[in-house]
Amino acid sequence: MQIRALLQADAAHLATVLALPITEARFEVQLLLAHVMQVSRAWLIAYDDSELSAENMASYQLLFQRRLLAEPIAYIFGEKEFYGMCFTVTPDVLIPRPDTELLVESALARIPTDSPARILDLGTGSGAIAISIAQSRPLSHVIAVDKSAAALTVALANAVKLGVINVTFIASDWFLAIPTSEQFDVIVSNPPYIAEHDAHLQQLQHEPISALTAGITGLDDLQKIIKHAPQYLAQNGYLLLEHGYNQAAIVREYLAQAGYADIHSEQDLSNVARVSWGRKV
C-alpha cells in the first residue's frame, strides 16, 4: 500500500475515534509509521509515494490498533522526551509532561551551581524530575522517593541509562521512610492533584490512577506535603509543588497557613499558574 494513502485514511480514522484535530491525528500516524520504518517524519513526507512492505504494514497495524484504543504513544514507544533527555516509561508511571519542566526550572533556580545541595523529590515516578535536577546540578545529591516498587524500578533504570549517579531512590510513602534528621535545601513534588470524580480522568485511563487522584477535591496530598515538609527543610529551604490549573490560590493559602515565606506561583507555557513555592523561615 502507498504510504500517502495509508496515512490519509488512518489519520481520518484516528481523528474520528479519539475526537482529535485532524492535524494532530496526522502527526500521530506519521510518528507511528516512522517508528516502525525507522525513518524520520521528514522522510515519510518526502517519499510518501513509496510502497509499504507487508512486514512494515503488519507492525504498523499493531501499533495503530493500540492507539485506536487510546493508549498513549509514549507507552506504545516505551519512552518520552523530558528536559532534553529520553526517559523510559511504562504504565507503572505517569508520562512526563512538558509543563512539569517548569517545576525543574524553578527548582534549579534555587539550587547553587558551584556548591553542594540536598534535594528531595517526592513521588518520583519515572524519575524525570529527580534525574533532570541531578544531571543539571552534579555537585548536589537528590533523594527520590516513591511508594511504588514498580515505579522505582523504572526510575532507577532511567538513572542508569542516562548515566546520572548523584541520585538515590528510596521506597517511601511521601516522608514516611525519611528520618527527620535529614534536612534538604529544596523539596520538589508533582503529586496527584486531580479530584477522584474529575471527568478528565477518562482521558488518562491508561496511566496509574494512584499517581493522578488525591481525594474528593484533589488537594489531599498537596496539603499533606505542605504540612510535613518543614520538618525536613533546612533553614531557608524551599518547597516547590506542581498543582492543577485552578489550584494555585488554595496552594498559596495552604503555604501561608503553614508559615512559609516568599510564597509565589509561576505560570507554565499556557499562562496557567502551574507551580507554587514557599520558603521555610
Q: Are residues 50 and 139 in the same domain?
A: no
Give the chain's length.
281
Would 201 be classed as within a structural domain?
yes
Q: In this model, does residue 209 exceed pLDDT 90?
A: no
Q: How far is CA 11 from CA 26, 65, 149, 176, 228, in A?
A: 5, 12, 38, 48, 49
Would 181 be classed as within a structural domain?
yes
Q: 22-37 and 3-18 helices cross at what angle (nearest 10)?
A: 130
Q: Are residues 149 and 254 in the same domain?
A: yes
Q: Are strands 85-88 and 79-82 parallel, antiparallel or unpaired?
A: antiparallel
Q: What is the pLDDT of residue 122?
A: 98
Would 79 be classed as within a structural domain?
no
pLDDT band at 200; cut points 50, 70, 90: low
CATH number of the domain encompassing residue 166? 3.40.50.150
Q: In this model, does residue 146 exceed pLDDT 90?
A: yes
Q: Which domain holds residue 234?
A: 93-279
Q: What is the pLDDT of residue 217?
A: 83
Q: How many domains does the chain have?
A: 2
Q: What is the pLDDT of residues 38-66, one digit of tens each?
A: 999 999 999 999 999 999 999 999 999 99
70, 101, 121 — which closes off a domain?
70
pLDDT band at 212; cut points 50, 70, 90: confident
pLDDT band at 205; cut points 50, 70, 90: confident
Rounded to whole angstroms, how far apart are CA atoms 169 and 46?
Answer: 45
What per-residue string of b and e applies to 187-204 under the rule 16 or more CB within 10 Å gives b? bbbbbbbbbeebeeeeeb
pLDDT band at 196; cut points 50, 70, 90: confident
